[in-house]
Amino acid sequence: MTSKPSSRSASSSARTRESRLSALHLSPESLGFVLDCAAQAVGAVRLGAALPAALQSVFVAVPEGNAAAARGAVQDVAYRTMRRLATAEWLIARLVKKAPAPHVAHVLACALALLVEDETNAAYTPFTVVDQAVKAIGARREFAFAKGLVNAVLRNFLRERDVLLAAVQADEVARWNYPGWWIDAVKRAWPEAWQSVLAAGNTQGPLTLRVNARHSTVDAYLQVLQRQQIAASKAGEHAVTLATPMPVERIPGFGEGVVSVQDAGAQLAAQLLGVRDGMRVLDACAAPGGKTGHLLELANIQLVALESDASRARRIGENLRRLKLDAEVRIGDAGNPAQWHDDLDQPFDRILADVPCSASGIVRRHPDIRWLRRQSDIAALVAEQRRILDALWPLVKPGGELLYVTCSIFPEEGELQAQWFGDQHQDAVRLDAPGQLLPSVVRAPADPSAGSHAGQPAELSAGTNSDHDGFFYARFQKR
Ligand SMILES: C[S@@+](CC[C@H](N)C(=O)[O-])C[C@H]1O[C@@H](n2cnc3c(N)ncnc32)[C@H](O)[C@@H]1O
């Protein structure tokens, strides 16, 4: 049965449509259009929406003919703004006496995020940014009164740029572009490395591929890339990082399943599980299926891919179809095996517990996360992880292994959780694993002596560049 929209929601969606249409006389090729759309997405994030979902609803306003280029530009400006949001908001507070209307503030934030970039990274000239921000505001009847304000704020910023940016340095939130609680948590956890961790989260991650071991090797694939004059380097046992990102349709072999997009740090999961032909394996929190695919590439295993979110679970199938691999996808709560695992089911040789977490290790690819998380989320996530780990452990065969994984840099979702698990389960023997892998953009040879010491951040594998997101890995064997 379809429900009739209430008159209130109908009138609010009409208002939304009207407000979108009112901006349509901006050319979709113009930066003004891009700023208008990006500002709407930033506004939605500020109200609690995830950026990818916010962008999808904004993209409704992008005319079909211009879709790819305009969407790419909107996405780029919105992502840049997420990485500069606190700087931009600090500047707005400094340069404007009375807080502007939210949409005006968000257009200003997007424009300032572009203007604060140093020249080498700047995507547009300062003149274009100011001119187009004024046009973006002028294009909406309801905000056109603020054209003068937007012009004045941006010009004042350009005039006093150096002084203002020096003043930004004195405010930690404005300087680092993370909430204060997040900065404090990183300082507490990593007193020696907190600045490099925060800085890494403000970069744009590289495009790293996983070479499908059923089809090729890293060395052979690097030769394929070289023949097509695509610069790339080895980044792990199955990992290749492209020097310059490109759309997946243009990546050699992507459509045929020869490679998949996956961060080098994430690729350790399947390797650490040490799967062999014939093993029965559970991927307990599987969507969208990145690690599921990797596990199936490494051996002929019997794999159950479990996911609690039915719509996300569909993506596991989509990913596996491209790789021409197969798993038994089940929908259910990993913390309640009675839902999806009956007594006749065999226990598992290996369980991958890539549990829900703060995602604080992958903020460079998801820069909105820092603005969406609350400090109180961490304790709730820790409790949820414990519930899932406790429920999964009885499903591991004696002699079998469970791998606890998070894409977090907070010890509560890392070493402290692993220690708690070891204390709770006397039949769990902790095996060698990297422990905390901090996000790194340093392209230096890894130190082979680093790794596996509890509580100490580890490096990725030796002999590769070390550009990767942040992860935590702990491995337990059942006695
Ligand atoms: C970190 S992501 C997994 C990423 C995945 N392993 C990959 O490599 O593509 C965590 C996943 O766990 C799912 N999830 C959250 N709570 C769950 C639960 N109680 N049981 C099963 N899955 C859960 C989330 O919907 C999300 O898709």
Confidence of residue 121 (pLDDT cuts 50, 70, 90): confident
Tell me, in angstroms, the distance from the centre of ligand 1 to residue 307's CA.
Answer: 6
Report the pLDDT value the prediction gives residue 453, as an integer from 0 to 100. 38
Q: What's the confidence (pLDDT) of residue 452?
A: 39
Q: Are 169 and 90 in contact (CB under 8 A)?
A: no
Verify whether ligand 1 is closer than 6 Å to residue 58 (CB atom): no
Structure tokens at 143: 């905000």
Please give the distance, rounded to the nearest whole angstrom, from the Cα atom of residue 106 to the centre of ligand 1.
32
Residue 225, token pair as written in the block: 């890339």
* The two three-digit tokens of residue 211, written as one number: 């070479």
pLDDT band at 61 (very low <50, low <70, confident <90, very high): confident
What CATH fold (topology level) applies to the domain 206-262? Alpha-Beta Plaits (3.30.70)
pLDDT (tens digit, 9 = 90+) per residue, 358-373?
999 999 999 999 999 9
Query: What's 458's DSSP letter?
Result: B
The whole-chain average pLDDT of the chain stands at 91
- Cβ neighbours of 93 (radius 10 Å): 12
Q: Report whether 199 belongs to an annotated binding site.
A: no
Residue 468 has pLDDT above 70, yes or no: yes
Pocket test for ligand 1, best of 208, 273, 295, 307 (most atoms within 8 A of CB): 307
Neighbours of 443 (CB within 10 A): 13
Q: Which residues contact 237 (CB under 8 A, 6 or more apart)?
A: 218, 267, 271, 461
Ligand 1: nearest atom to the Cα of 283:
6
pLDDT at 8: 44
> Is the shortest distance between the CB of 388 and ligand 1 below 6 Å?
yes
Q: Give the pLDDT score at 62.
A: 82
Tell me which H or E stretch contains 282: strand 280-283
> Which positions ≥6 away from 205 have C-beta within 8 Å?
263, 364, 365, 467, 469
- Ligand 1, from 297, 308, 404, 406: best to mutate by most atoms within 8 Å of Cβ? 308
Q: What pLDDT is stored for residue 168 in this prediction?
A: 98
Please, is 304 exposed, middle or buried when counting C-beta atoms within 10 Å of its C-beta (0-12, 13-18, 19+)?
buried
Which of 120-124, 136-140, 411-415, 426-430 shows the lowest per-residue confidence on average (mean pLDDT)?
A: 120-124
Q: Are the C-beta atoms of residues 448 and 343 closer than 8 Å to each other?
A: no
285-316 pLDDT tens trace:
999 999 999 999 999 999 999 999 999 999 99
Which candidate, 175, 176, 190, 172, places its Cα nearest to that of 408? 190
Tokens 């680092």, located at residue: 176
CA separation for the pair 67, 326 (Å, rounded): 34
Fold observed for domain 10-176: N-utilizing Substance Protein B Homolog; Chain A (1.10.940)
Architecture of domain 264-478: 3-Layer(aba) Sandwich (3.40)
Q: What is the predicted pLDDT for the residue at 24?
A: 57
Mean pLDDT within 134-155: 96
pLDDT the model gives residue 64 = 78
% the chain with pLDDT above 70:
90
Over 80: is that where the pLDDT of 174 sits? yes
146 is in an annotated binding site: no
Q: How confident is the model at residue 352 (pLDDT cuts 50, 70, 90)?
A: very high
288 lines ligand 1 (CB under 6 A): yes
pLDDT at 440: 84
Residue 187, classified by CB atoms within 10 Å of its CB into exposed (0-12), middle (13-18) or buried (19+), is: middle
Q: Measured in angstroms, how far is the CA atom of residue 65 from the centroid of ligand 1? A: 36
Angstrom CA distances, 62 to 32, 65, 422, stand at: 13, 8, 52
- For residue 220, the model assigns a pLDDT of 98
* Active-site residue set: 407
More confident residue, 455 or 238: 238
Average pLDDT of the segment spanning 391-395: 98
Q: What number does the ligand 1 atom closest to the CA of 290 have?
A: 9
CA of 315 to the centre of ligand 1 (A): 12
Q: Hey, where are the domains in the chain?
A: 10-176, 206-262, 264-478
Stretch (H or E) spanning 377: helix 375-392
Confidence of residue 63 (pLDDT cuts 50, 70, 90): confident
